Structure 1
């Protein structure tokens, strides 16, 4: 399905948009809820990824001896479920996914689990899904792994750690990637009463086999909010959009948006009802900006497109994890921004965009089966008409995205 977006603007200077819970928090808490059933959750994500995670966790209750679990494009589910199924004693699983998922490495996590005693083998290509997992009791408690590839490997181990007989002592080797996501995992463990420590390169999680009844309300997703920050940045001065529901002391690394988007004239106010109001104010348009996004790489696409729409250059660093996402996001950004008229270059971990005042109209943006490509480019419709290919991919993290755009005045001309 392709979507044709006519040049639009936000119809009301004060619009309200409800965004459901963080996908990152939801998937962590769904796994913890499976380990500790007396956890109840409010404001869970309505994303495809969280739906896949929930269905996979529920599937373990079938009577099949060997269960085939397909996570499709859900990278978080693949990593977290690999660890979770490894400790399900007496149950066997084959964990697979989409063709792209079979190209996304999992060897580092598998080897770490094998250090703990897990029984995991590769069904096709060494180091990649699909994998066969024979669930068993893991008694080893010390493991080390490279920390500069994906924080999801680390979080996967931390989430199962309190159910290990001797807990976990995890040593991180090299530069640590996406520390906010590791801290999010530890904070959620602490919130349900599990003792942890994170000192220098070592994380310790104490064993805990039962917890008190816990009810947790999940904060709304900051990654999903990023597209609204971009919309406000590209809108007229005075435009305001209110989003619910967010915390000033967020566990999500993408909350860095609040500070980053001040550079684009976007002011954020935290309201008493846990909503935020983001407004376009007058600002001095800088020629070029530098951002290190190592702690929040998922907003890189949004920021690059915002800069292009405003005619601002940028140099974005800390992006090495984008090479192994739903697509190679750096190459995808380069391809699609170039079609729009941008001068852009990328390396393995950075992106450089030159200032430009030209935006080509009615260009078809290829999404590469990546939800963030579709949503990051949509705000450009405030400047020119644009076409988004495979627009349905937004359901991976934000299923109501196109309806929410229509609700604030965007004109979707056709669905093909």
Structure 2
């Protein structure tokens, strides 16, 4: 037995993995719901939130912006929305290395009135955010990367987000587009967003639109390549967050590799997370997949290698790589350069 407290000893599996498990809440949905609930009118209760560093960083930053929130229990958060008017006129936000948080909060701060600094650790200062900054600048928001190197720290001096038309590259992170979409209802006029080039990670944009709709905002879109958002207000609500489909992929993969059987409750064909369709990949490799109204079951079978485009569910590409080692023949994963 290894006595090092910083290491974990993993014993080889001697039998099929069989069981039912509910993963933690989706990180992607949690951070979107936190932004939307913070900007909404009234109180929201978010159930099934993920307890993680990203969630903690987001909540700490929202508090610095003047948003009131509290925990009802470990996975339930109540948020008093600001009605689209950020209370704080000045804030220094420390985002550690949370890429989702800095992208969403950069867009949110552009709707405020004042000066906001967004920064993070050494790794964060190596992560480009220039394309989102350029989009805000094209809308006449005074935003810049203060070191002049395309990366944080970011400084925003704003009197609000004007309406108008903005172009954004579709081939980079979909989080830039998601950030703009979520704050667009609080622009000072109608906002039109045009995607240039092929849009990556489409399921994450569909997730953003779904969260916005659940809080009462409608977005006009043409084939997810252009969007028009009229000034609107989110309405606080009681919102249940799905289990994390990316985390679920690990347990489905375990069933596939060991020819076991794993059921995940809380996920179904109607789930808003694209990664739920990782089970379709396993089915193509030979597994048996059963979809129920509120659960998915994977029964492992003999695995065959495949050639597959993983663009839409790229976060599960590494899970597939682990499964592919146990398949007969080679597996080729394509179109995941953006991960």
Give the TM-score of the pair, scaled to structure 1: 0.71
Partner of 1:361: none
Partner of 1:51: 56
Instruction: Render the CA deviation track for 1:129-149: whole Å, top value 9, x for unaligned.
Output: 111122421223211111111
Following superposition, the deviation at residue 61 of structure 1 comes to 2.0
Following superposition, the deviation at residue 121 of structure 1 comes to 2.1
**1:226 lines up with 2:249 in the alignment:** yes
Following superposition, the deviation at residue 263 of structure 1 comes to 3.0
Partner of 1:412: none
Supply the distance in 2 between the matched residues of 1:47 and 1:276 (Cα, whole angstroms).
Answer: 25
Following superposition, the deviation at residue 203 of structure 1 comes to 0.9
Following superposition, the deviation at residue 275 of structure 1 comes to 3.1
Instruction: Render the CA deviation track for 1:334-375: whole Å, top value 9, x for unaligned.
Output: xxxxxxxxxxxxxxxxxxxxxxxxxxxxxxxxxxxxxxxxxx
Partner of 1:313: 330
Supply the distance in 1 between the matched residues of 2:233 and 2:28 (Cα, whole angstroms).
Answer: 24
Supply the distance in 2 between the matched residues of 1:205 and 1:275 (Cα, whole angstroms).
Answer: 34
Partner of 2:94: 70
8 Å contact 1:194–1:206 — kept in the other structure? no
Supply the distance in 2 between the matched residues of 1:65 and 1:186 (Cα, whole angstroms).
Answer: 28
Change (3 A) 1:256 1:210: closer
8 Å contact 2:128–2:151 — kept in the other structure? yes
**1:302 lines up with 2:319 in the alignment:** yes
Structure 2 gaps of 5+ residues are 1-5, 68-86
Which has the bigger relative contact order, CA under 8 A and spacing at least 6?
1
Supply the distance in 1 between the matched residues of 2:311 and 2:336 (Cα, whole angstroms).
Answer: 6
Supply the distance in 2 between the matched residues of 1:136 and 1:10 (Cα, whole angstroms).
Answer: 62
Partner of 1:257: 278
8 Å contact 1:219–1:247 — kept in the other structure? no
**1:60 lines up with 2:80 in the alignment:** no
Supply the distance in 2 between the matched residues of 1:23 and 1:167 (Cα, whole angstroms).
Answer: 30
Over 6 Å off, 4+ runs: 62-65
Change (3 A) 1:10 1:46: farther
Change (3 A) 1:292 1:210: closer
CA RMSD across the alignment: 2.1
Partner of 2:123: 100
Following superposition, the deviation at residue 291 of structure 1 comes to 1.0
8 Å contact 1:245–1:275 — kept in the other structure? yes
Alignment of 1:220-299 (within 5 A): 220-235=243-258, 237=259, 239-272=260-293, 274-280=294-300, 282-283=301-302, 285-286=303-304, 288-299=305-316
Matched residue SS, 1:145: strand
Supply the distance in 1 between the matched residues of 2:89 and 2:270 (Cα, whole angstroms).
Answer: 44
Give the count of matched residue pairs. Answer: 313
Alignment of 1:139-178 (within 5 A): 139-178=162-201
Change (3 A) 1:48 1:267: farther
**1:216 lines up with 2:239 in the alignment:** yes
Following superposition, the deviation at residue 209 of structure 1 comes to 2.9
Supply the distance in 2 between the matched residues of 1:215 and 1:9 (Cα, whole angstroms).
Answer: 44
8 Å contact 1:289–1:313 — kept in the other structure? yes
Supply the distance in 2 between the matched residues of 1:268 and 1:175 (Cα, whole angstroms).
Answer: 31
Following superposition, the deviation at residue 269 of structure 1 comes to 2.5
Matched residue SS, 1:105: coil
Structure 1 gaps of 5+ residues are 323-416
Give the TM-score of the pair, scaled to structure 2: 0.86
